[in-house]
Amino acid sequence: MSPANNKLSPYDWIIVGGGLVGASIAYGLIQKQPQLRILVLDGGDTDHRASVGNFGLIWVQGKGNDFPAYANWSLQGADLWPEFARQLSHKSQIDIAYQRQGGLEFALSQHQLSVLREEMATMSRHTQGRFQYTLLDRNAALALQPGLGEAVVGAAYSPQDGQVNPLYLLSALHKANRLLGVEYQSRCPVEHIEVLEHGFNAAGSLAKHIVLCAGLDNQRLGKQLAMHLPVTPVKGQILITERAEAGKLPYASPQMRQTAEGTIQIGGSHEHKGLDNRSSLDIMQTIANDAVTIMPELAKLHLVRSWSALRVMSPDGAPIYQRSTKYQGAFGVCCHSGVSLAAAHAGLLSSWLLNTLDRDQKILIEAMNNDRFAV
Ligand SMILES: Cc1cc2nc3c(=O)[nH]c(=O)nc-3n(C[C@H](O)[C@H](O)[C@H](O)COP(=O)(O)OP(=O)(O)OC[C@H]3O[C@@H](n4cnc5c(N)ncnc54)[C@H](O)[C@@H]3O)c2cc1C
């Protein structure tokens, strides 16, 4: 039956937004309770979509330095990734190019190295030593990553960081969801959500529960369900080089990573330019120069592609997991690290939505609600 024919028969869940966050949550819900009727209402191809413009890191280092719950959540999420990737690839028959080879954060001065030392020690404390890392001097960094520029004085290494092809991840989630019976409707922007006596009406479809996963549109939609979801756009630009020999960059880093196909992806810019998502030459030059400072040999590679995309950023960079206190059954999920946390969203967050989590895990997730922004 097509979604259009179903419009008046209620779903158990409507998920507004079919990016990485909405697709991961739908995947988790349908796997836990296959009898659920789930509808994902997605926007159009010209929408801002961080999920198709991101860097593809599954990153733990530095996450939640000032926020212990987020540090623990990031680590949990990264630890859930290997099994999540295995199952998703199996279900969808799409190789998502997941690797957990570890990651390097480079330091270009002794000051940066001591900041990294502090940050890593703090994360280790927050996670009761479960976050693993090694602080490397220049020689130790060179042993892991040959060819480093003179400016690199050291690095932090964590074996818990990894990477994935984010486009394959998104299409694998959509394919698996379809095979598992999740209904999906594209080009169906939700303008208004009507609160009913026992549920919600979004774009003519009814459901008992609704989860807002509309990226930057969550702020607007959240207000309709009495939820404060303060997200703003932060632009990031990315460059892709021609293919380099395999193993050129054995470890991922926030400035560069080598994709499974062999290209080198360069990024790491942060700009506050509203909804302007155009690329600009000055930022491209800056990130290219930063990458060449770290790995001078990259200067020999041609650039073949570049793009920019808007991050879905909360005021402190950590996710927001919100339950509407006014309208039972309504939730909002906003997240800047939707790749890193995809396994956690499919696994633990979907259990939180279903109210089947144990107490400690529930407390951890609810520490990331919007109370922290109360004035
Ligand atoms: C440059 C850059 C680099 C990044 N690097 C990383 C990284 O290395 N690792 C990492 O973990 N994260 C990274 N991120 C963040 C990650 O991409 C996001 O956290 C994630 O994609 C957010 O997913 P989302 O589904 O919430 O939002 P989006 O991808 O923005 O998707 C929102 C969806 O909602 C739909 N929508 C919007 N409004 C409506 C509406 N009214 N009705 C129906 N549907 C609607 C849109 O069409 C879209 O499909 C990066 C982001 C950027 C921009």
Taking the domain 3-54+167-230+317-373, which CATH number applies?
3.50.50.60
Which tens digit of pLDDT belongs to each residue from 137-152?
999 999 999 999 999 9
- Estimate the crossing angle of helix 110-126 against helix 68-92, to 10 degrees: 80
Q: Does the pLDDT at position 352 exceed 60? A: yes
Q: Which atom of ligand 1 is nearest to the CA of 269?
A: 1
Task: Report yes or no: 319 and 70 within 8 Å, Cβ to Cβ.
Answer: yes
- Is the CB of residue 319 below 6 angstroms from any atom belonging to ligand 1? no
**Region 57-81 average pLDDT:** 97
Asked if residues 216 and 309 have their Cβ atoms less than 8 Å apart, the reply is no
Residue 81 Cβ inside 6 Å of ligand 1? The answer reads no
Beta bridge partners of 201: 194, 206
β-pairing, 199-202 with 103-107? unpaired
At residue 9, the pLDDT reads: 66
- Which ligand 1 atom sits closest to the C-alpha of 310? 53
Residue 300 — pLDDT band, cuts 50, 70, 90?
very high
Kindly give the distance from the C-alpha atom of residue 357 to the centroid of ligand 1, in angstroms, as a whole number: 26
For ligand 1, whether the C-beta of 170 sits within 6 Å is no
Q: From the CA of 188, give the closest atom in ligand 1.
A: 43
Do 133 and 116 meet the contact criterion of CB atoms below 8 Å apart?
no
Which bin fits 24, alpha (ψ -120 to 50), beta or left (φ > 0)?
alpha
Question: What is the rounded CA–CA span in Å between residue 218 and residue 234?
Answer: 15
What is the share, in percent, of the chain residues with pLDDT greater than 70? Answer: 97
Q: Residue 56: CB within 6 Å of ligand 1?
A: yes
Inform me whether the pLDDT recorded for 298 exceeds 70: yes
The answer to pTM > 0.85 is yes
124: number of Cβ within 10 Å: 15
- Measured from the CA of 52, which atom of ligand 1 is nearest? 29
At residue 268 the predicted structure's pLDDT band, cuts being 50, 70 and 90, is: confident
Rounded to 5°, angle at Cα 48 from 46 and 52? 95
Residue with tokens 């989860």, as numbered in its chain: 211
Confidence of residue 37 (pLDDT cuts 50, 70, 90): very high
Please give the CATH architecture assigned to the domain spanning 232-313. Answer: 2-Layer Sandwich (3.30)
Give residue 8's pLDDT band: very low, low, confident or very high (50, 70, 90): low
Distance 260 CA to ligand 1 centre (A): 22
For residue 143, CA distances in Å to 100, 155, 157, 307, 373 come to: 19, 11, 12, 32, 44
* Confidence at residue 6, expressed as pLDDT on a 0 to 100 scale: 46
Is any atom of ligand 1 closer than 6 Å to the C-beta of 25?
A: no
Mean pLDDT of the chain, nearest integer: 96
The pLDDT score that the predictor gives to residue 126 is: 97
Domain ranges of the chain: 3-54+167-230+317-373, 103-159, 232-313
